Structure formats: structure tokens, C-alpha cells
């Protein structure tokens, strides 16, 4: 392997790093040979070794890990040309000059009639998926790998490498793979990613009839042995390029066709099969859905960065979140929120019910900006209404879950802790919908957790939520917090964690409650050092006065 280098992708685009004989430290430290100054990268993240033409990578116990082609590195892994290496989420590809990906070349459309060897409609693929056991085994492997595209939010440009990797696996490394997309119906499709193995970077020449039928009729095409095809004229573009087998399928995102996934091969004996065509069609469907989600995700992120949107979000939250919680006789209460960015999705609220119980709420909405602020507003307004109507905790959270599920894009959800306190007895009935377990700190310093009783609100429709119970004796305190506290990291990429928080709360259990948040901020700052602030931090605490007997 000669003239090997790492080529940066997405956030690292343009960062190329030649690899010659020797050892290379990858990380955030100034001593690193490949320095990646990002908070998600550990100071000494990984080591790359080049010896006698062999390139190997070894993770050095990093916090966010190293992966090769999506698989986590444990031990030492040998790298091959075309492999994708990720340090945390920063991607590079091993390049020795024989493979190309994610660049543009001209696409020529020919007007001659096109007659495929095999064609399948989208409905036929969907129906035969249930019947064909051999195809099921192939689909299981491919779809299991493709699932990561749907579960990990990222920009579209970061997805093309994994997409090309999956197509290589599904079609047993064809010579050429192309991803063609169009922005609007009627436009010519444009190449957005490609990989060419063992052949020159020839211009892609396609039949305009084939392109039109794939894009507009959602038909998948397989063509084999074009030289002996009865419609040799329609196959002329393939014959001139020496192509022996080609496959083209619609990238259908369940609403629109956004492009074409195409592959071909000129090697003798390499012929794509009908089963591969069906599997390739379903794979293209998953890829299209993932790319559409990623595009929406990218647009949303961009909008969240806009100053006007952030200002609107701040205004919303300032009117929704109380500066102070209402008082309750025999108890001290505290609520504080500090945003990492200009606005986030943390929320809290408390109110005294008509029967004298004290209802309190803490939550965390996914995302930032106006979208998160509007969802905070929706959660709080629905909760206020149901509290006034006399809903009990379990039924309230179940109804809130269904309402939030119906009014969101099913990507946003909310972790939530809702408690009902009887002031006279200190008894609390609560629902914990996927929130960080609040800590009950006893007067003697012992700590207990209020474990989750259900999934986050808005994740799945029709969920039921159980309840938990605890009782605050004189001097006892319940502390509710956001994950921004426990996930605060120091320069060694260590989390502050639940144990440190429990220790802090136990030490400060008798201190002035009004100063508890400021003292915690100081504790977090000392632990973090020069590491960047990662997320919003919220703390809500209720402590029963010692003079209040049971």
C-alpha cells in the first residue's frame, strides 16, 4: 500500500493526512500528530501505525470511541483502501488513489428507448418481501446495518460514505456505484455521491427513458448481458462502456422519489440477480427516508442558529417558566435553570392544587431553539389544564404523552418527572417518564433514587405509566435535575456523574437552600476545568423543614 492518506469527510472535509511509515497519535492534545480540536475527541484518542505497507488503528481508551466502517474498534484493526474511520463522530476515509466517492461528474441522458432485462414495481417488491425466505435473510443483514442511518441524526453529507459501504455489501462490491438526486420534479438528477473501484472515472451515461421510469413510476430495473439484448439500440450506452450488468432503483422516501441508486459492473461473470434487485429496492427506500430525515434535521439545526429564532424562543420561555416556585407551608423550595446556549429545552413548574396537594414538574425537551421552546410551551399548557381538571399523575402523563405524540414530528420527545406532595405527611406520589432519577436525600445523608416508571413523553402513542412513592421526613430533601449536570465533562472526558452529585447533595443537605444552585455551579466549574460547557443545567429542590413533625 503506497501513498496512503486519510481524507476528511463532512466536518473534516479538506483535512487530508498523508500516512508514511511510523506511528501517529490522534487526539485533542497539542502533542497529537493528527490533532482534532473538538470536545468529543479525547486528548489521546487513538494511534495509527504504518509498517511495511500495512496501516493499523488502535483506540487508546477514548471516551467516545473509534470505529471502522461503523464497527467499534477494540484492539488493533487493519485498515484497507476505502475504509471509513471515525474518531468520535469525525470521519475520514482511507484513500490510496484507487477509489472515488462523493464528487461530481457529468451525467448524460440518452433519448433512445430502453428495454430492461427485469423490471419490478414498488408494489411487487413490497408483496414478495413476505414470501421469499431467501430474500428475507439477505434483507435482514442489509436492513440491520441500514438501521443506523435512521437512528443517528447527522447531516446528509455525512451519510454518503455509510450509504456507499452498504451498497457495496448488498451487491458484493460492484465496480461503480452512483447516488443521483433531484431537488424538484422535472429537474435533471445530479450525482451527489459515487464510488468507482478498478475503473477510470468515466462520465456516467444513462438512458433517459430508464431515468424517467425510475423517477416517475417508481420502477426498479435490472439489465444483464446488454450485448445480446434484443433491443441493442437501447443498450448502446452500456455496450459502449463495456457494462455487463446494471441495476437502478428509485430512492423513495414513502412520499416522493428523491433520486436514483445505480450500480454497474463490467467484469465477466458478474451479473446482478432478481433477489438483489428486490433487496436493493428496499435498501434504497431506507436510504431515501434517512436522507430526507437528515435533510430536515439539517434545516432545523440551521434555523436554530438564527438569532431571530433564538430571541423568539427566549421570549417564549421567559413567559412560561416561573422565576420562583410557589411556597408551601413547612417546606423550602428552589428552582434554577442556566442555559448553555441562548435557549434550551429544560422546563419546570409547580402549583398548589385545590385539595392542598403540591404538584411539581421537571422535564427536558429534545433539541434547542424555537422548536424546543414551543414544545415546552405545549407541555406546560397541557399540564396546567389537566391539573386544574383534577387529573391524577398516571392518567395525566398518559394523556400528555398521546397529545404530544400527535402534535410533533415523532422525533421530538420530553423526559418528565411529575410529583404530587401531601404537605402534612410528606408523602409523594410520582411518575417518572424517562427523566434522570431524582435523588431523595435523607436528614442523615443517605440517598435514594426515584426510578423511571415509563418511557419519555411523546416517544410512542398509547403508553401507560406506573407510579412510585416516597415520603419526606423532617430534614429530608428531593432534588430533581437535568442531565446537563451529571453529563458535565472534565478535560479527561470523565462525567460528573450521579455519584458525585449524590455526594454533593448529601454534604449540602443542611446548607442554605437558596445558595444550593450557586454552590453546585461552583462544584461543576471546578470539576470541568477548561473543558467546554456541554448542556443546560437545571435544579429543582424541595426540603421539608426540620421543625415540621410527621
Cell 402534612 found at? 424
> Treating both helix axes as pointing N-terminal to C-terminal, what angle do 133-151 and 160-170 enclose, rounded to 10 degrees?
170
Which of 246, 251, 308, 262 lies closest to 116, judged by CA? 246
Per-residue pLDDT for 42 more than 60? yes
Q: How would DSSP label each residue in 259-322?
A: EEEEEEE-STT----HHHHHHHHHHHHHHHHHHHHHHHHHHHHHHHT-HHHHHHHHHHHHHHS-
- 343 burial via Cβ count (<10 Å: 0-12, 13-18, 19+): buried
Task: For residue range 100-116, list pLDDT tens digits in order.
Answer: 444 444 455 555 555 56
Predicted confidence at residue 141, as pLDDT, reads: 66
Between CA 149 and CA 147 the distance in angstroms is: 5
Task: For residue range 488-527, list pLDDT tens digits in order.
Answer: 999 999 999 999 999 999 999 999 999 999 999 999 999 9
492 vs 368, residue with greater confidence? 492
Q: Are 142 and 162 in contact (CB under 8 A)?
A: no
Mean pLDDT of all residues belonging to the chain: 83
**pLDDT-wise least confident of 36-50, 344-358, 363-377, 411-425:** 363-377
pLDDT band of residue 53 (cuts 50, 70, 90) is confident
Cell 436514483 found at? 260
- Cell (9 digits) for 459: 416517544
Question: Is the whole-model pTM more than 0.85?
Answer: no
**pLDDT-wise least confident of 4-18, 180-194, 363-377:** 4-18
Task: For residue range 280-305, list pLDDT tens digits in order.
Answer: 888 899 889 888 888 887 777 776 66
Cα–Cα distances (Å) from 389 to 71, 358, 432, 458, in that order, read 51, 15, 21, 21
**pLDDT-wise least confident of 30-34, 35-39, 231-235, 472-476:** 231-235
**pLDDT-wise least confident of 4-13, 27-36, 211-220:** 4-13
Query: Which domains are present in the chain?
Result: 5-95 (2.60.200.20), 105-296 (3.30.450.40), 321-544 (3.60.40.10)
Predicted confidence at residue 534, as pLDDT, reads: 77
Between CA 52 and CA 112 the distance in angstroms is: 52
- 71 burial via Cβ count (<10 Å: 0-12, 13-18, 19+): exposed
Between CA 287 and CA 427 the distance in angstroms is: 51
Which of 530, 495, 540, 204 lies closest to 364, judged by CA? 540
Main-chain dihedrals φ then ψ at residue 434, nearest 5 degrees: 70, 15
Helix (H) or strand (E) holding 216: helix 208-217
Q: Which long-range contacts (CB under 8 A, 24 or more apart) does 299-304 make?
A: 300/367, 300/371, 303/369, 303/370, 304/367, 304/368, 304/369, 304/370, 304/371
Predicted confidence at residue 6, as pLDDT, reads: 86
Between CA 523 and CA 180 the distance in angstroms is: 52
Between CA 55 and CA 81 the distance in angstroms is: 10
Which of 57, 27, 63 lies closest to 45, judged by CA? 27
Amino acid at each position: 500500500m503506497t501513498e496512503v492518506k486519510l481524507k476528511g469527510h463532512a466536518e473534516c472535509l479538506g483535512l487530508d493526512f498523508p500516512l508514511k511509515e511510523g506511528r501517529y497519535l490522534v487526539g485533542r492534545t497539542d502533542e497529537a500528530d493528527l490533532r482534532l480540536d473538538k470536545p468529543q475527541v479525547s486528548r489521546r484518542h487513538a494511534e495509527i501505525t504504518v509498517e511495511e505497507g500495512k496501516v493499523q488503528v488502535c483506540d487508546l481508551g477514548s471516551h467516545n470511541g473509534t470505529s471502522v466502517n461503523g464497527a467499534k474498534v477494540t484492539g488493533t484493526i487493519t485498515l484497507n483502501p476505502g475504509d471509513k474511520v471515525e474518531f468520535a463522530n469525525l470521519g475520514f476515509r482511507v484513500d490510496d488513489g484507487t477509489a472515488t466517492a462523493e464528487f461530481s461528474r457529468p451525467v448524460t441522458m440518452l433519448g433512445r428507448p430502453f428495454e430492461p432485462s427485469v423490471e419490478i414495481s414498488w408494489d411487487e417488491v413490497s408483496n414478495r418481501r413476505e414470501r421469499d425466505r431467501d430474500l428475507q435473510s439477505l434483507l435482514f443483514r442489509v436492513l440491520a446495518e441500514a438501521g443506523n442511518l435512521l437512528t443517528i441524526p447527522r447531516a446528509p453529507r455525512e451519510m454518503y460514505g455509510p450509504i456507499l459501504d452498504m451498497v457495496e455489501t448488498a451487491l458484493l462490491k460492484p465496480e461503480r456505484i452512483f447516488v443521483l438526486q433531484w431537488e424538484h420534479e422535472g429537474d435533471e438528477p445530479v450525482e451527489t455521491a459515487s464510488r468507482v473501484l478498478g475503473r477510470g472515472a468515466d462520465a456516467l451515461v444513462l438512458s433517459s427513458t430508464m431515468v424517467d421510469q425510475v423517477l416517475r413510476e417508481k420502477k426498479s430495473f435490472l439489465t444483464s448481458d446488454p450485448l445480446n439484448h434484443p433491443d441493442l439500440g437501447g443498450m448502446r450506452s452500456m455496450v459502449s462502456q463495456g457494462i455487463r450488468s446494471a441495476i437502478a432503483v428509485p430512492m423513495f422516501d414513502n412520499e416522493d422519489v428523491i433520486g436514483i441508486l445505480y450500480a454497474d459492473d463490467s467484469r465477466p461473470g458478474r451479473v446482478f440477480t432478481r433477489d438483489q434487485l428486490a433487496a436493493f429496492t428496499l435498501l434504497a427506500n431506507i436510504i431515501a427516508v434517512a436522507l430526507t430525515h437528515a435533510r430536515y434535521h439539517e434545516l432545523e439545526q440551521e434555523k436554530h442558529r438564527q438569532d431571530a429564532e433564538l430571541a423568539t424562543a427566549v421570549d417564549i420561555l421567559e413567559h412560561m417558566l416561573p422565576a420562583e416556585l410557589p411556597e408551601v407551608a413547612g417546606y423550602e423550595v428552589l428552582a434554577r435553570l442556566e442555559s448553555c446556549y441562548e435557549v434550551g429545552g429544560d422546563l419546570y413548574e409547580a402549583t398548589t392544587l385545590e385539595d392542598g396537594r403540591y404538584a411539581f414538574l421537571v422535564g427536558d425537551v429534545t433539541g434547542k431553539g424555537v422548536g424546543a421552546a414551543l414544545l415546552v410551551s405545549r407541555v406546560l399548557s397541557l399540564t396546567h389544564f389537566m391539573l386544574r381538571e383534577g387529573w391524577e399523575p398516571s392518567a395525566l402523563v398518559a394523556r400528555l404523552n398521546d397529545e404530544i405524540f400527535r402534535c410533533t414530528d415523532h422525533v421530538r420527545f420530553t423526559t418528565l418527572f411529575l410529583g404530587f406532595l401531601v404537605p402534612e405527611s410528606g408523602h409523594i406520589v410520582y411518575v417518572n417518564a424517562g427523566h434522570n432519577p431524582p435523588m431523595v436525600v435523607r436528614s442523615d445523608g443517605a440517598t435514594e433514587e426515584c426510578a423511571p416508571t415509563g418511557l419519555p413523553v411523546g416517544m410512542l402513542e398509547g403508553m401507560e405509566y406506573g407510579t412510585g412513592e416516597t415520603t419526606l421526613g423532617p430534614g429530608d430533601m428531593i432534588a430533581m435535575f437535568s442531565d446537563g449536570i451529571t453529563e458535565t465533562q472534565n478535560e479527561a472526558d470523565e462525567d460528573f456523574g450521579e455519584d458525585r452529585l449524590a455526594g454533593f447533595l448529601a454534604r449540602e443537605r443542611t446548607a442554605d437552600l437558596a445558595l444550593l444552585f450557586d454552590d453546585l455551579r461552583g462544584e461543576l466549574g471546578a470539576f470541568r476545568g477548561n473543558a467546554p460547557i456541554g448542556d443546560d443545567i437545571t435544579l429543582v429542590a424541595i426540603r421539608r423543614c426540620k421543625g415540621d413533625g410527621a
